[in-house]
Chains A and B, each alone.
Chain A
């Protein structure tokens, strides 16, 4: 008696068939791994232990860590940069056809508070619509001056450096300033502005 008679052709084929006859998913939604050659079993049957319980435990834990991170973030800001002295400087970039950002230097009251060099990934994030908080600090109530220098590649991929300045009043509330890099299409030049968010 040979083994094929003992186990039977149908068993051999059946095992393969079970492995092969699972649903396929299309490219846009191919979250289902095409059935790899394995003995017949559905994913539901193969999960050891209480997978869902562990998954739920992991989820709950991650949620708690995320919440704590948020609380820590808020606490840090309130502790180190209270609203009555807080000043935040953001940078945004619109289009960027005439300027590729390399670095930004920020001076407040003639004192350098930030000198930031951009990676390609960061510059790309700005181009996509991200707004970076480049500086967060404290200032006393009163008049102050902010000067920003932008370095990068301008039109014709030439080295390009420009500055922008603003005098602003720091009141009792937090102060937000936005360094804006935009394209001045008629002049084929970039434009650097500083917006005081009241």
Chain B
């Protein structure tokens, strides 16, 4: 499993990481990061927030926030980077159709050739991985030559692989023959070219390429495994062409401790057998027979060993080995049947995902270890396949999404309660607001202000200085007025002459005082009128707002109620679909697993039939042999 993870991870990462240099290209003038991280200057907070989740490998939250930010128009400065990242995020969630649409949109816009090339290239890669070979080829062919030579080399390699998977070996040969790339990729190109030639029956042409890869001086498990594979492929191709003597030294190059050693041992035995050296063939085959019976090469050795003994006329030993093979095959088939039954009971996926960390969706996810279950030993090969891993990832993601929607369903119920509470509060507040509004006579207030202003105008016009006096002054002025009226009623009374003089003086003093402060008082009154006018206007505005609120609050709450209701319906519908599709995915993966086990069983059955037949033949031969004459 570790090997599988190692093999897949670089590619999986590549699918997304390509988007990031674009996300970070904007601020090149910022000083470089000491850790080699690309500099980044925040242009849109919302985009930074998306990146925060992205860098945490939480792609589901990242994509949700990015889509929301896009809808709320919160990424105005980083729109293009955001789109590239969005495409990458969709890819990470296996949404290659949507990713393709986004990349296509970007490609239709005024993006640089560099962006276009990378978008097409990674799209082609993902489509290839998911088995969409035609789409993959179309995308890869969209990549122009103006691209990093290394990426171009990889592109050509991918194209050749697409062709080979489609059985178009001649096209693949043409593509690979013209291929030029970095030296460390040459081995892969030569290997694939050799394979394509073998597949078209051109062994003579293939030998040179495969032999070169098979003899390369390399380090590292990956290249060593490729070297082994080249030797193994060439060795078996030669065996098939009845060139056993040439095949042996080639097969002997395969490392004994490598992943292909069992096949190599089997092949070396066949090479010896092919030239009639059955005793020598027994050496690799007997060594192979001691290995785990799960390996099909080992299963085959259970037949080849007695076959060799038979060729060496050691019939007894051959019969013993055939008997042993039949017992071993019987036991193995029983184990496989039990495992198939377990899988049919539907427990396989739950077991596989028992130890899974369930709180995030990330592109990095791979099944890390197999459960301790009887069927596990048969599933290593299946789990190494992309098809099963992709299916398992889909199943896991569907389960994650179902949990996610269940959480939202609870939140949405809380929103309902909240909206109900708001509505209730509104109902309580409306009568109070209505009462306040009803008690507020804004027209009356305004009329009073108008009257007040007219009065001020009149005072000014008539220069009625006493009208703006203080209450005490007005009181004094009124007393003086009354005295004046009294004096006027007695104009000829000589006793009032003194009083008249004093009144005249007092009135003059009072008038002088009132006149002195009249302008200032008039200005104050006018200011007061203006303030009053402003206050009335503000009150009118508030009243309008309160009235509007009264009208709009029910509508806006109603809007939320409708939205909440709509999303709840969508949640329920999607939960149903998730359950259905999850079940389909489960059945599909079960089917893959059962098919794998049945194929293994069928192979063992074939071997068992052959063993029984051979054993019967031996017994038949023994029983028909001329009996030695009895001694007299």
Chain A residues proximal to chain B, CB less than 8 Å: 1-4, 6-7, 9-10, 12-14, 16-17, 20-34, 36-39, 42-44, 46-49, 51-52, 54-59, 61-79, 88, 90, 92, 94-95, 97, 121-122, 124-133, 176, 178, 197
Contacts and interface: CB of A to CB of B under 8 A. Distances in A.
A74 B566 CA distance: 14
Interface stretch (B35-43, B110-118, B349-357, B527-535): B35-43
Given A30-B10, A31-B129, A178-B45, A66 B237 contact: no
Nearest to B51: A130
Given A65-B578, A66-B64, A131 B55 contact: no
Interface string B406-417: 001001100100
Contacts of A133: 45, 49, 52
Contacts of B522: none
Contacts of B377: none
Contacts of A97: 34
B617 to A, nearest CB: 7
A58 B585 contact: yes
Best-surrounded residue of B63, B72, B297 (most CB of chain A within 10 A): B72
B53 A130 contact: yes
A176 B549 CA distance: 27
Contacts of B8: 30-31
Contacts of A43: 131, 165, 385-387
B370 interface: no
B599 A69 contact: no
- Prevailing SS type, chain A contact patch: helix
Contact of A26 (B185, B239, B408): B185
B584 A44 contact: no
B160 interface: yes
Given A44-B131, A54-B585, A128-B55, 7 more contacts: A24-B188, A31-B125, A37-B381, A43-B165, A61-B581, A68-B571, A133-B49
Contacts of A27: 10, 184, 222
Given A90-B45, A130-B52, A29 B11 contact: yes
Interface string B361-391: 0000000000000000000010011110010
What band does the interface of chain B fall in when counting residues whose beta carbon is under 8 Å from A? 35 or more
Interface of B: 4, 7-8, 10-11, 14, 23-24, 30-31, 33-35, 37-38, 40-42, 45, 47-49, 51-56, 60, 63-65, 67-68, 71-72, 93-98, 125, 128-133, 150, 154, 157-158, 160-161, 164-167, 172, 184-185, 188, 191-192, 195-196, 198-199, 222, 225-226, 229, 232-233, 236-237, 239-240, 242, 260, 262-263, 266-267, 270, 273-274, 295-297, 300, 303, 307, 310-311, 381, 384-387, 390, 394, 397-398, 401, 404-405, 408, 411-412, 415, 418-419, 560, 563-564, 567, 570-571, 574, 577-578, 581, 584-585, 588, 591-592, 595, 599, 603, 610, 613-614, 617
Contact of B398 (A61, A66, A67, A77): A61
23 contacts: A17-B198, A21-B237, A24-B229, A27-B10, A28-B11, A30-B7, A33-B386, A34-B7, A36-B381, A36-B384, A37-B295, A55-B390, A61-B574, A62-B95, A66-B64, A70-B67, A70-B71, A73-B64, A73-B68, A79-B564, A129-B37, A131-B45, A131-B52
A16 to B, nearest CB: 5
A65 B67 contact: no
A130 B46 CA distance: 10
A183 to B, nearest CB: 9
Q: Top 7 closest A-B pairs, CB basis?
A: A131-B48, A130-B52, A129-B40, A125-B55, A70-B67, A13-B240, A31-B11
A135 B617 CA distance: 83
